[in-house]
């Protein structure tokens, strides 16, 4: 028995400690990631210098770049020495220096940067379609979970429209008609989901209210015994009755509204609406 208990203790200690070990390891991560990010940023900055300044780099930017570049070298050295804390400091110093450079460049070159309107609007449209596609995928996941067959064709149509809109963007055609159609389709899908799960959802809310109101009943009894404001206790009981009646008639939204009113009265009495 003792051996079993000791064994259980060892297992429990290991079980308790091991998740923190894993988190610790995850937090420490692979420090070489830092070097790779810093080296890439360094190269990007040089690349920008070549594009913008050719050989005439302003002094303030040059100083910042030297600072950043030295920090990258130091980071490499720190990692070789396995000095992780120093490596972190070097990384932040390098990335901060490069960040300052990029902000100075963006301020000074703002006027000179040529903005290709077509590219910019395409980028925006593509992003909009990306977002809509993600939204459709989320709705599809909900629809599949609740086995809403009525939406199946709508999803097929939605994905087909998304594909078509992408083609139109790539060939510089106006996709607004298809985009509008897609938006309408998404609204129709949302409506279908709401209608299909309304009954299940109502039942879930009813069950929740049933449990919740029983608890509130008990708390009101306690409040009465403690001699709290009787008028407010009576008012609460009336509201509870009203909620129960509305729930029995399936008027969930009205029940929610009365519940909001009840919450205020309960707060006045000093009853927490959270079940403990």
Partner 1 sequence: MISLIEPIQLQDSLGDDGILFVRNNSIFDTMVKIPLLVASMIIVAALLPIQSSFSSPRDLDLIIYPDGSTHVSTKIDVDPFLTNYELNLFGSSIDNLVVVGNDEFLLESDIVENTIIIQTFGSSMIKIDYDIHDLVSKQGRFWTFSLDSPSDFTLLLPKNSAIIGMTNLPINMEIVNDQNQLTFSSGQTEIDYFFSTNTISNPIPDTENKIDYFLFAIISGIVVITAISIGIIIHKKQKNVKTVEPIQIIQKNQVANIETIFKLKPDLREDDKELVKFIFNNNGEALESELRKKFLQPRTTMWRAVKRLEREGIITIEKKDLQNLVKLRKNMEENE
Compute φ and ψ for 9, nearest 5 degrees: -65, -45
* CB nearer to partner 1: pick between 109 and 218: 109
Q: How far apart are CA 69 and CA 184, in angstroms?
A: 53
Footprint on residues 7-46 left by partner 1 (CB under 8 A): 7-10, 12-16, 18-19, 21-22, 25-27, 29-30, 32-34, 36-37, 40-41, 43-45
Q: How many helices (H) and strands (E) does the chain have?
A: 9, 0
Q: How far apart are CA 253 and CA 265, in angstroms?
A: 19
Residue 231: exposure state from Cβ atoms within 10 A (0-12, 13-18, ≥19):
exposed
| Contact present, 123 and 170 (Cβ < 8 Å) | no
Binding mask 174-213 for partner 1 (x = CB under 8 A): -------------------xx--x--xx--xx-xxx-xx-
Identify the residue among 131, 152, 191, 257 touching partner 1 (CB under 8 A).
Answer: 131
| Contact present, 158 and 182 (Cβ < 8 Å) | yes
DSSP assignment, residue 113?
P
* CB nearer to partner 1: pick between 213 and 269: 213
* CB nearer to partner 1: pick between 82 and 227: 82
DSSP assignment, residue 229?
-
Nearest C-alpha neighbor of 212 from the set 132, 135, 144, 271: 271
Minimal distance, residue 180 CB to partner 1, in Å: 16
User: Alpha-carbon torsion 141, 143, 146, 152, what sign?
Assistant: negative
Binding mask 137-176 for partner 1 (x = CB under 8 A): -xx-xx--xx------------------------------
Identify the residue among 53, 67, 83, 135 touching partner 1 (CB under 8 A).
Answer: 135
| Contact present, 213 and 244 (Cβ < 8 Å) | yes
Identify the residue among 69, 70, 86, 88 touching partner 1 (CB under 8 A).
Answer: 88
Minimal distance, residue 227 CB to partner 1, in Å: 27
* CB nearer to partner 1: pick between 45 and 220: 45
Minimal distance, residue 257 CB to partner 1, in Å: 12
Tokens of 228: 């709290």
* CB nearer to partner 1: pick between 43 and 267: 43
Minimal distance, residue 267 CB to partner 1, in Å: 13
* CB nearer to partner 1: pick between 109 and 174: 109
* CB nearer to partner 1: pick between 14 and 184: 14
């Amino acid at each position: 028995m003792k051996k079993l208990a000791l064994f259980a203790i060892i297992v429990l200690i290991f079980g308790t400690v091991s998740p923190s070990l894993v988190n610790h390891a995850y937090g420490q991560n692979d420090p070489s990631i830092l070097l790779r990010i810093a080296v890439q940023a360094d190269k990007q900055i040089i690349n920008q210098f070549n594009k913008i300044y050719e050989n005439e780099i302003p002094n303030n930017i040059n100083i910042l770049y030297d600072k950043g570049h030295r920090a990258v070298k130091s980071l490499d050295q720190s990692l070789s020495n396995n000095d992780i804390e120093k490596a972190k400091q070097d990384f932040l110093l390098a990335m901060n220096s490069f960040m300052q450079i990029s902000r100075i460049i963006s301020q000074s070159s703002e006027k000179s940067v040529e903005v290709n309107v077509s590219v910019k609007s395409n980028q925006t449209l593509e992003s909009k379609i990306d977002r809509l596609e993600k939204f459709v995928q989320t709705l599809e996941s909900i629809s599949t979970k609740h086995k809403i067959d009525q939406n199946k064709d709508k999803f097929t149509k939605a994905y087909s429209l998304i594909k078509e809109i992408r083609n139109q963007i790539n060939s510089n055609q106006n996709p607004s008609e298809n985009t509008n159609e897609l938006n309408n389709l998404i609204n129709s899908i949302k409506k279908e989901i709401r209608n299909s799960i309304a009954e299940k959802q109502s039942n879930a809310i009813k069950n929740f209210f049933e449990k919740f109101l029983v608890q509130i009943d008990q708390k009101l009894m306690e409040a009465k015994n403690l001699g709290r404001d009787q008028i407010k206790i009576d008012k609460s009981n009336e509201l509870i009755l009203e909620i129960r009646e509305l729930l029995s008639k399936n008027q969930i939204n009205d029940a929610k509204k009365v519940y909001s009113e009840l919450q205020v009265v309960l707060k006045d009495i000093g009853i927490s609406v959270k079940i403990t």
